[in-house]
Amino acid sequence: MTKGMYIAALCGMAGIGLAATTALVAQDKPADAKRFLSQPLVKSIYTADPSAHVFAGKIYVYPSHDVPTAIADDDLGNEYAMHDYRVLKMDRIGAPVTVGPVALDVKQVPWASQQMWAPDAAYKNGTYYLYFPARDKTKDKNGLGKFMIGVATSKNPMGPFKADPKPIAGAFSMDPAVFTDADGKSYMYFGGIWGGQLQRWKNGTFDPNGSDTDLLQDGQPALTGKVARMNPDMKSLAETPRDAVILDANGKPILGGDHEKRFFEASWMFKRGGQYYYTYSTGDTHFLNYATGTNPYGPFTYRGHFLLPVQGWTTHHSIIQTGGKWWLFYADTQLSNKNHLRNVKVTELHFNNDGTIQTIDPLVK
């Protein structure tokens, strides 16, 4: 089943209306800008999966750099053929955006073969760290490498970055996100099912012949993202990764068959009012969700959606506080109407008095 067929089927099962269904798939005609809540930050290149940070009072966004390709959409994500990174910079929300030069190319990573997907960044003691997933040079049943997570460093937040010769030991799959708590300890969250291959690590080692989607156990607890505290060097893990468990209101793990709630990819952690917010994408149902806990490891209690489906298949995000407000960075396909050519956007995020997040509709009715 292709993504298009799967989307149509899921929309019917999930009760998503026709308008939302239309927003999930590529359109044949140019999109009307008035349909969208927010407009692209840049139009000179295609960008997605934005990891935003405030460094020295400036906003830096570390996105995927989408590139045109003739590869058809599939469940392995082969159409997402990104091979380098370029950093976006702005003085404040709404200010002009500078697109940096190539910060890192896959050809500069000794262990990697292709597909540099969603990155993240961190800063410590004068050094900027770029964390990135890429396929290594092994071959699985589909002739593709396994996704591992690497790290590269620079003295400039826009790069260029120099990659370490090997991936980070103990980290695997995709979508690294690094959160530094008030006590200075940093944690890496990572993982993604389907093309991200998290389901192939269920026993602690990679199965090159494993499932292409999930564990195919809808009645069992869903696969979870991973979390591990990092060493002070910010380039290695201090412990074996743990499950970032998401519980329902009754304290039971979210099940694999609950596609509107379960983790798919795109972990992002932030802290507000003493509460830890673990946010993530549901992938094939196209929501951004959040769950809350009392520590960086969880378990986290599911709270709901905070972004409804965008135009396009993927939804991946980051959340920062700057200028006295909270902001959500995300992406859709407004400029291209193609799932693999996306554009980064930003909109304000609002909280209720009890700490819950107000749901955002990215499309204007």
Q: Mind spelling out the 3-state secondary structure of the chain?
A: CCHHHHHHHHHHHHCCCHHHHHHHCCCCCCCCHHHECCCCCCCCCEEEEEEEEEECCEEEEEEEEECCCCCCCCCCCCCCCCCEEEEEEECCCCCCCEEEEEEEEHHHCCCEEECCCCCEEEEECCEEEEEEEEEECCCCCCCCCCEEEEEEEECCCCCCCEECCCCCCCCECCCCEEEECCCCCEEEEECCCHHHCHHHHCCCCCCCCCCCCCCCCCCCECCCEEEEEECCCCCCECCCCEEECEECCCCCECECCCCCCCCCEEEEEEEECCEEEEEEECHHHCCEEEEEECCCCCCEEEEEEEECCCCCCCCCCEEEEECCEEEEEEEECCCCCECCECEEEEEEECECCCCCECCECCECC
Pairing of strands 186-190, 225-229: antiparallel
Residue 260 a catalytic site member = no
Pairing of strands 275-281, 288-293: antiparallel
- Strands of 265-272's sheet in order across: 246-247, 300-307, 288-293, 275-281, 265-272
* Active-site choice (66, 214, 265, 284): 265
d(CA 329, CA 148): 25
CA atoms within 13 A on the CB side of 355: 13
Residue 49 a catalytic site member = yes
Catalytic annotation, residues: 49, 265
